[in-house]
Amino acid sequence: MVQLENTKCSFLFCLGICILICSAIYFKANLSNTPLPPTVLSTQTTPAPKTCDILPPAAPGFKWQRTDCKKISYETKPGANCTLLQSDLHFIMAPLSREEKDFPLAFIITIHKELETFVRLLRAIYAPQNVYCIHIDAKAPEEYKTSVRNLAGCFSNVFVATVNEKVTYAGFSRLQADINCMKDLVKSPTKWKRVINLCGQDFPIQTNLELVRYMQGTEWKDRNMTPGIKQPPTMKHRTEFQYEEVKGTHVAPKGKGQKKGPPPHNITIYFGTAYYSLTRPFVEFVLKDKVAKDLLEWSRDTFSPDEHYWVTLNHMKEAPGSYVEGGWEGNVRAIKWRDQEGKVHQGCKGQYIRDICVYGLDDLPWLLKTKSMFANKFETASFPEALDCLELWHRHKVLRHATVPIQPSWRLTTEVEVMNSTVIFSKTGECF
């Protein structure tokens, strides 16, 4: 009897603790003003959960659920079974069409953190006919570098750059990282037709097939895409004065505003985005041509040289695939800049960081409308649902375009039956 009392007490005590914890979670959720979906079963009225509305509707009576519910590890060990790893991580291991197979792409991805986000980006753009050069910031932790190398070891067309820089925001090292990868890529046996650069916070909007079609369309056939214009007066200081990278952390003016000499060969400097799609002959020109090399040397002590180097070369008529009259054309990247609020977009639903929007879930409809190849930026630590949802949507589109039989492991979602008496809401993109 006493024992029973004890058991009863323990039970009541546990129940009490549970209620306390639940209330604490509830109040915390309320405070942070993010309505979390209830995790307990409920037959009461359903609060509107955050859903991935951009997904195509599931069959009547069904809803989408992620297939990778069991928490898979993105840490890869040396000697892993690569076949198993490719399928566990949902990599698509066959070309999805003849058209894509005949137009291989090269990618340069510069990363420094967040292994999981990188793996998800890689699997979104991965195709066996393409080739991928990964530049890992030399400052990154050793375990991170090892994990990336182990992963790359499972794919014959993914490799880590031979030379990896300590990358500084707005510094020459950022440009050097791309050039290091280009030197490796021209030696690759893959006959790639375009090279595209990405950073770890990018994610594709278009599928590989759409990229291939876009590059082969009348506007970009045999042409490099480097959106930009003649250097505006507001950007003149970037190349008029000398700058240097300080302690690998930031870029600062050198001395007391030391002036730089004029650009070599009387080149007119342009200004634009650091993102591009470049033809192979152009990349060979960049690596071999005297004018290109002289401009690179001259750019060493400028501010954010990756925002003038590519676009300047691409406005020279000697450069293969150049676009001398080109301006901001080319949907390379969807970015919500703070100063374009009210003009190009109606505000950031996530959060601005350095005047660039880190996307929230409600930014996705805008992103899809831009028709850009890629979007920047995503942060899984602050706004995980945005990437979760875009990732599922993107994979749906990829598989819809496929002209070969679809392997079950390629799917990121499955349809599960909605039953009235069980869980009827879930944050899409999550497991329950």
Ligand X SMILES: *[C@@H]1O[C@H](CO)[C@@H](O)[C@H](O)[C@H]1NC(C)=O
Among 42, 268, 340, 403, binds ligand X (CB under 6 A): 268
Q: How far is the CB of 132 from ligand X (least distance, A)?
A: 23
**Residues 197-226, interacting with ligand X (CB under 6 A):** none
Contacts to ligand X from residues 22-61, by CB under 6 A: 27, 30
Other C-beta atoms closer than 10 Å to the C-beta of 386 total 27
Nearest approach in angstroms of CB 252 to ligand X is 30
Give the active site residue among 100, 165, 245, 307: 307
Residue 162 sits in the site that holds ligand X (CB under 6 A): no
Beta bridge partners of 77: none
Contact between 84 and ligand X (CB under 6 A)? Answer: yes
Q: Are 139 and 113 in contact (CB under 8 A)?
A: no
Closest CA to 349 of 374, 373, 383, 384: 383
Q: How many CB atoms lie within 10 A of CB 36?
A: 15
Rounded to the nearest 5 percent, the helix, strand and coil shares of the chain are: 35, 15, 50
Tell me the window of 76-84, 246-254, 320-328, 394-402 that interacts with ligand X (CB under 6 A): 76-84
Q: Least distance in Å: CB of 21 to ligand X? A: 15
The least distance separating ligand X from the CB of residue 270, rounded to whole angstroms, comes to: 12
Number of residues that bind ligand X (CB under 6 A): 7
With contacts defined by CB under 6 A, name the span among 81-89, 90-98, 108-116, 329-337 that binds ligand X: 81-89
Residue 4 or 40 having the CB closest to ligand X = 40
CB of residue 265 vs ligand X: minimum separation in angstroms? 8
CB 77 to ligand X: min, Å: 13
Task: Please report which helix (H) or strand (E) contains residue 290, including its range.
Answer: helix 290-299
Shortest distance, CB of residue 84 to ligand X, whole angstroms?
4
Q: At what angle do helices 280-288 and 172-185 cross, to 10 degrees?
A: 120
The whole-angstrom distance between residue 111's C-alpha and the CA centroid of its chain comes to 10
Phi and psi based region of residue 211 (left: phi greater than 0; alpha: psi -120 to 50; beta: remaining): alpha
Question: Which range touches ligand X (CB under 6 A), out of 77-85, 238-246, 390-398, 411-419?
Answer: 77-85
- Angstrom distance (rounded) from CA 153 to CA 328: 38
Beta carbons within 8 Å of 407's beta carbon, 6+ residues apart: 87, 92, 93, 94
Backbone region of residue 379 per phi and psi (left: phi > 0; alpha: psi in -120 to 50; beta: other values): beta
Q: Indicate if 385 belongs to the active site.
A: no
Q: Which of 428, 390, 328 is nearest to 66 (CA)?
A: 428
Among 39, 83, 340, 382, binds ligand X (CB under 6 A): 83
Query: One symbol per residue from 300 to 329: x for binding ligand X (CB under 6 A), - otherwise; what is it?
Result: ------------------------------
Q: Is 81 in the site for ligand X (CB under 6 A)?
A: yes
Please, which residue, 30 or 162, has the CB nearer to ligand X? 30
- Which one, 29 or 356, has the nearer CB to ligand X? 29
Cis, peptide link before residue 377, omega less than 30° from 0: yes
Selected range binding ligand X among 80-88, 183-191, 295-303, 414-422, rule: CB under 6 A: 80-88
Closest CA to 346 of 365, 331, 330, 333: 365
SS3 196: strand
Q: Where does this chain bind ligand X (CB under 6 A)?
A: 27, 30, 81, 83-84, 266, 268
Task: Report the catalytic residues.
Answer: 307
